[in-house]
Every structure is written in structure tokens, then in C-alpha cells.
Amino acid sequence: MMSNSTDAYQQHDHHRCLKTALAQAKNRCIARKARLTPIRESVLHLLWQSHRPLGAYKIIDQLSEETGKRVLPPTVYRALDFLLELGLIHRLATLNAYIGCPFPDSAHSDCFLLCRECGSVAECSTANVNKSIASTAEQAGFLVESQTVEILGLCTPCQEKMPQPNKAKPIKPEADE
Ligand SMILES: [Zn+2]
Ligand SMILES: [Zn+2]
Ligand SMILES: [Zn+2]
């Protein structure tokens, strides 16, 4: 399994995550002959402030504050589209927010673990999930064009902080027939 869950949920040297992400973005732009303009880089930088996703309007506000002038929504949406296109960020539909991708250079499916308590999101990719999605779709005669799995719950540190009675009951997987 490919995952950044240790980084996303535990205390860690986040500066390293940021540095790696920016370096990966630069390499990817060179490889794709695309340009990481200052606005695109600023948006990516903002999304890598932490492991919590940001909505477009939060990005607009923070950029406006940083630059001291009102940044227009289309400017930010264009930068987000560019970053999505290059696979440097992902969009989380359930939160209507964006998050930096920790492994843009590896082929992976989008599977996210969203902690409802601290708001941190880890990304993971496993062959098992991919295989079951593919076979489920196949049985339904469905052609998969894109897939994003968003799983809501509690990360390990948040589970440990929760008083016992409030602990969510895990959803038991259905038996396969
Ligand atoms: Zn980090
Ligand atoms: Zn990713
Ligand atoms: Zn958490």
C-alpha cells in the first residue's frame, strides 16, 4: 500500500513534505513542458501548508491576504485546474476542497482517509481496492473513467483522544456472496 498516513496524522517534519511536494511539482512541470507560474506555485504552496484540504474560497482569501490585493476567483480556479491536470493536487468531492498529492510521480488511484475530528486527510492507494472496484464495475457492465474513494472516520491520534462512548462503531464489511 502506498500511503502518507503517518505524515498526515502524526507529528512530523512537515517542512520536508512541503519541500518534496514543490520539488516534485517542478520536475513534473519540466517533464510535461508546463510552466509553474508564481500564482500556480503559490496555490500549491498554500495547499501544502498542512494535510488539511482547502476550499477555493479559503485559497482566494489567503492569497489576497498574502499579496495585499484582491485575487480574483477565475485566477485561482485556473491555477487549480492546471494543478489538477498535472496530478499535483486532488479534489475532494465530499468536502468541495483541494489537497496536494504526496505521490504525483506514481500511478495510483485516489483513495482518501478523511478524519472528521482533526480534518487531516491521508491519501493511499492499494491494489486490493482497485481490483474490487474494477470487478464490481465489470459485473455491472460499467466502464470506469475515474474513481475517487473518500472514507470518513477517525485517524489514530483522534481515536486515542476520543472518550470511549463516543468512539464511532466501525462499519462491518458485508459478507460476499
Ligand atoms: Zn506533512
Ligand atoms: Zn494522489
Ligand atoms: Zn484526526
The CATH number given to whatever domain includes residue 160 is 1.10.10.10
CA–centroid distance, residue 173 to ligand 1 (Å): 31
For residue 163, what pLDDT is reported?
81
> Which string of DSSP letters, residue by residue, matches 5-41?
HHHHHS---HHHHHHHHHHHHHHHHHHTT----HHHH
Spans in the chain with pLDDT lower than 50: none
117 exposed, middle or buried (CB, 10 Å; 0-12, 13-18, 19+)?
middle
**Residues 22 and 66 sit within 8 Å (Cβ to Cβ):** no
- Closest ligand by atom to 114 CA: 3
Chain centroid, CA 125 distance in Å? 12
The pLDDT score that the predictor gives to residue 52 is 97
Distance 20 CA to ligand 1 centre (A): 10
**Per the domain annotation, does 138 fall within a domain?**
yes
Q: Does residue 119 fall inside a structural domain?
A: yes
pLDDT of residue 177: 52
pLDDT at 110: 85
Q: Is 171 inside a domain boundary?
A: no
**136 is a domain residue:** yes
Distance 130 CA to ligand 2 centre (A): 14
Please state, in angstroms and rounded to a whole number, the distance separating the CA atoms of residues 29 and 31. Answer: 5
Domains held by the chain: number: 1
Q: Does pTM top 0.85 for this prediction?
A: yes
Range of the domain at 134: 2-166
Please give the pLDDT value at position 166.
57
Ligand number nearest to the C-alpha of 98: 2
Q: Which residues are close to ligand 1, an ion, with C-beta < 5 A? A: 7, 14, 17
What is the reported pLDDT for 136? 95
C-beta separation of 108 from 95 below 8 A: no
In a domain, 21, yes or no: yes
The sign of the torsion formed by the CA atoms of 128, 150, 41, 10 equals negative
The C-alpha cell of 119 is what? 480534518
Residue 141 lies in a domain: yes
Please give the pLDDT value at position 96.
95
* Within-domain flag for 177: no
Which residues make up the environment of ion ligand 3, defined by Cβ < 5 Å?
115, 117-118, 155, 158
Q: Note the pLDDT of residue 100.
A: 97
With respect to residue 53, please indicate whether it lies within any of the assigned structural domains. yes
Write down the pLDDT at residue 127.
86
